[in-house]
Structure 1
Amino acid sequence: MPALQVKDCPAPVYEALRQCADRENRSISQQTLTIIEHYLGMRDVPTLPAVTSEPINYGERRERVFERIRQMRPIPVSESRPNAAEMLRQIREEEAR
Protein backbone atom coordinates (compact mmCIF):
# COMPACT_ATOMS: atom_id res chain seq x y z
CA MET A 1 0.00 0.00 0.00
CA PRO A 2 1.40 3.42 -0.87
CA ALA A 3 2.47 5.74 1.92
CA LEU A 4 1.65 9.43 2.26
CA GLN A 5 3.73 11.93 4.20
CA VAL A 6 2.71 15.50 4.97
CA LYS A 7 5.47 17.97 5.67
CA ASP A 8 5.30 21.40 7.28
CA CYS A 9 1.82 20.90 8.73
CA PRO A 10 0.86 24.01 10.73
CA ALA A 11 0.58 23.31 14.45
CA PRO A 12 -3.08 24.42 14.71
CA VAL A 13 -4.06 22.09 11.85
CA TYR A 14 -2.20 19.18 13.42
CA GLU A 15 -3.76 19.85 16.84
CA ALA A 16 -7.28 20.02 15.36
CA LEU A 17 -6.61 16.77 13.48
CA ARG A 18 -5.29 15.13 16.65
CA GLN A 19 -8.38 16.18 18.63
CA CYS A 20 -10.67 15.00 15.84
CA ALA A 21 -8.90 11.62 15.71
CA ASP A 22 -9.16 11.34 19.49
CA ARG A 23 -12.92 12.02 19.41
CA GLU A 24 -13.39 9.38 16.72
CA ASN A 25 -11.10 6.84 18.45
CA ARG A 26 -8.74 6.73 15.46
CA SER A 27 -5.06 7.25 14.96
CA ILE A 28 -4.02 10.48 13.28
CA SER A 29 -3.18 8.49 10.14
CA GLN A 30 -6.59 6.78 10.11
CA GLN A 31 -8.37 10.09 10.66
CA THR A 32 -6.39 11.80 7.90
CA LEU A 33 -7.24 9.02 5.46
CA THR A 34 -10.91 9.13 6.48
CA ILE A 35 -11.04 12.90 5.87
CA ILE A 36 -9.30 12.58 2.50
CA GLU A 37 -11.61 9.75 1.41
CA HIS A 38 -14.64 11.78 2.49
CA TYR A 39 -13.40 14.85 0.62
CA LEU A 40 -12.82 12.80 -2.54
CA GLY A 41 -16.29 11.24 -2.25
CA MET A 42 -14.90 7.78 -1.59
CA ARG A 43 -16.44 7.38 1.87
CA ASP A 44 -19.75 8.41 3.38
CA VAL A 45 -18.73 10.01 6.66
CA PRO A 46 -21.04 12.09 8.83
CA THR A 47 -20.00 15.71 9.25
CA LEU A 48 -17.65 15.98 12.19
CA PRO A 49 -18.50 18.49 14.91
CA ALA A 50 -16.33 21.55 15.38
CA VAL A 51 -13.61 21.33 18.02
CA THR A 52 -14.93 22.72 21.30
CA SER A 53 -13.83 22.71 24.90
CA GLU A 54 -17.28 21.58 26.10
CA PRO A 55 -17.39 18.32 28.05
CA ILE A 56 -18.41 15.26 26.07
CA ASN A 57 -21.87 13.87 26.78
CA TYR A 58 -21.09 10.17 26.49
CA GLY A 59 -24.75 9.13 26.70
CA GLU A 60 -25.67 11.21 23.65
CA ARG A 61 -22.51 10.12 21.84
CA ARG A 62 -23.37 6.47 22.54
CA GLU A 63 -26.89 6.93 21.17
CA ARG A 64 -25.52 8.58 17.99
CA VAL A 65 -23.13 5.65 17.49
CA PHE A 66 -25.93 3.12 17.95
CA GLU A 67 -28.14 5.07 15.54
CA ARG A 68 -25.36 4.97 12.93
CA ILE A 69 -25.02 1.21 13.49
CA ARG A 70 -28.79 0.72 13.08
CA GLN A 71 -28.64 2.56 9.75
CA MET A 72 -25.90 0.32 8.35
CA ARG A 73 -26.72 -2.39 5.87
CA PRO A 74 -26.76 -5.88 7.39
CA ILE A 75 -23.76 -8.09 6.73
CA PRO A 76 -24.77 -11.05 4.58
CA VAL A 77 -24.29 -14.37 6.35
CA SER A 78 -23.83 -17.61 4.46
CA GLU A 79 -26.23 -20.44 5.24
CA SER A 80 -23.24 -22.80 5.25
CA ARG A 81 -21.51 -20.89 8.05
CA PRO A 82 -20.30 -22.95 11.01
CA ASN A 83 -22.53 -23.07 14.07
CA ALA A 84 -20.96 -21.01 16.89
CA ALA A 85 -22.11 -23.44 19.59
CA GLU A 86 -20.60 -26.37 17.70
CA MET A 87 -17.31 -24.51 17.24
CA LEU A 88 -17.13 -23.76 20.98
CA ARG A 89 -17.86 -27.40 21.81
CA GLN A 90 -15.03 -28.53 19.52
CA ILE A 91 -12.59 -26.03 21.04
CA ARG A 92 -13.47 -27.13 24.56
CA GLU A 93 -13.04 -30.78 23.64
CA GLU A 94 -9.61 -30.08 22.13
CA GLU A 95 -8.53 -28.10 25.20
CA ALA A 96 -9.71 -30.88 27.51
CA ARG A 97 -7.41 -33.41 25.82
Structure 2
Amino acid sequence: MCLGIPMRIIECAGWSAQCEGRGVRRQVNLALVDEQPVGTWVLVVQSMAREVLSADEADKIQRALDGVEAALSGERDLSAYFDDLIASPPRRRVVRSG
Protein backbone atom coordinates (compact mmCIF):
# COMPACT_ATOMS: atom_id res chain seq x y z
CA MET A 1 0.00 0.00 0.00
CA CYS A 2 1.21 3.49 -0.84
CA LEU A 3 0.42 6.60 1.15
CA GLY A 4 0.17 10.05 -0.32
CA ILE A 5 2.24 12.61 1.58
CA PRO A 6 1.43 16.34 1.44
CA MET A 7 4.51 18.25 0.36
CA ARG A 8 5.07 21.94 -0.32
CA ILE A 9 6.94 23.03 -3.45
CA ILE A 10 10.06 24.96 -2.50
CA GLU A 11 11.69 25.16 -5.96
CA CYS A 12 10.18 24.52 -9.36
CA ALA A 13 11.68 24.02 -12.83
CA GLY A 14 9.04 22.98 -15.34
CA TRP A 15 7.62 19.60 -14.45
CA SER A 16 10.19 18.95 -11.76
CA ALA A 17 10.09 20.41 -8.27
CA GLN A 18 11.99 20.23 -5.03
CA CYS A 19 9.38 19.57 -2.35
CA GLU A 20 9.45 19.37 1.42
CA GLY A 21 7.07 17.64 3.79
CA ARG A 22 7.14 15.73 7.08
CA GLY A 23 10.84 16.49 7.50
CA VAL A 24 11.84 15.10 4.09
CA ARG A 25 13.02 16.82 0.92
CA ARG A 26 12.38 15.11 -2.38
CA GLN A 27 12.56 15.77 -6.11
CA VAL A 28 8.99 15.39 -7.40
CA ASN A 29 7.62 14.96 -10.92
CA LEU A 30 4.77 17.40 -11.67
CA ALA A 31 3.67 15.92 -15.01
CA LEU A 32 0.20 14.97 -13.67
CA VAL A 33 -0.50 18.39 -12.11
CA ASP A 34 1.46 20.67 -14.47
CA GLU A 35 3.95 23.30 -13.35
CA GLN A 36 2.98 24.88 -10.02
CA PRO A 37 4.22 27.97 -8.19
CA VAL A 38 6.51 27.79 -5.18
CA GLY A 39 4.48 27.39 -2.00
CA THR A 40 1.85 25.11 -3.56
CA TRP A 41 0.88 21.97 -1.65
CA VAL A 42 0.78 18.72 -3.63
CA LEU A 43 -0.07 15.14 -2.68
CA VAL A 44 3.00 13.04 -3.49
CA VAL A 45 2.99 9.28 -4.11
CA GLN A 46 6.27 7.63 -5.08
CA SER A 47 7.93 10.92 -6.10
CA MET A 48 4.98 11.89 -8.33
CA ALA A 49 2.61 14.75 -7.52
CA ARG A 50 -0.87 13.28 -7.97
CA GLU A 51 -3.03 16.22 -6.87
CA VAL A 52 -2.80 19.91 -5.97
CA LEU A 53 -4.00 20.48 -2.39
CA SER A 54 -5.33 23.47 -0.53
CA ALA A 55 -3.53 24.33 2.72
CA ASP A 56 -6.59 23.03 4.62
CA GLU A 57 -6.56 19.69 2.77
CA ALA A 58 -2.82 19.33 3.39
CA ASP A 59 -3.35 20.04 7.10
CA LYS A 60 -6.11 17.41 7.40
CA ILE A 61 -3.92 14.78 5.75
CA GLN A 62 -0.96 15.77 7.98
CA ARG A 63 -3.13 15.32 11.10
CA ALA A 64 -4.38 11.95 9.86
CA LEU A 65 -0.78 10.81 9.27
CA ASP A 66 0.11 12.05 12.77
CA GLY A 67 -2.82 9.96 14.05
CA VAL A 68 -1.53 6.85 12.29
CA GLU A 69 1.90 7.40 13.86
CA ALA A 70 0.27 7.90 17.27
CA ALA A 71 -1.76 4.68 16.88
CA LEU A 72 1.38 2.76 15.93
CA SER A 73 3.07 4.16 19.06
CA GLY A 74 0.25 2.82 21.22
CA GLU A 75 -1.70 6.02 21.82
CA ARG A 76 -5.34 5.16 22.56
CA ASP A 77 -7.25 8.43 22.25
CA LEU A 78 -6.89 9.47 18.62
CA SER A 79 -9.84 11.88 18.51
CA ALA A 80 -7.60 14.97 18.31
CA TYR A 81 -6.16 13.71 15.02
CA PHE A 82 -9.49 13.04 13.35
CA ASP A 83 -11.72 15.83 14.68
CA ASP A 84 -12.98 16.59 11.16
CA LEU A 85 -14.37 13.03 10.90
CA ILE A 86 -15.78 13.11 14.41
CA ALA A 87 -17.61 16.38 13.70
CA SER A 88 -19.04 15.06 10.43
CA PRO A 89 -18.87 11.25 10.19
CA PRO A 90 -19.18 9.60 6.77
CA ARG A 91 -22.70 8.65 5.76
CA ARG A 92 -23.66 5.06 5.10
CA ARG A 93 -24.95 4.42 1.65
CA VAL A 94 -27.78 1.93 1.46
CA VAL A 95 -27.72 -0.29 -1.61
CA ARG A 96 -30.95 -2.00 -2.46
CA SER A 97 -30.97 -5.04 -4.66
CA GLY A 98 -33.69 -6.22 -6.97
Same fold (TM over 0.5): no
The answer to which structure has the higher strand fraction is: 2
> How does the TM-score come out when normalised to structure 2?
0.28
The structure having more radius of gyration, on CA atoms, is 1
Task: Considering Cα pairs closer than 8 Å and 6+ residues apart, tell me whether 1 or 2 has the greater RCO.
Answer: 2
The answer to which structure has the higher helix fraction is: 1
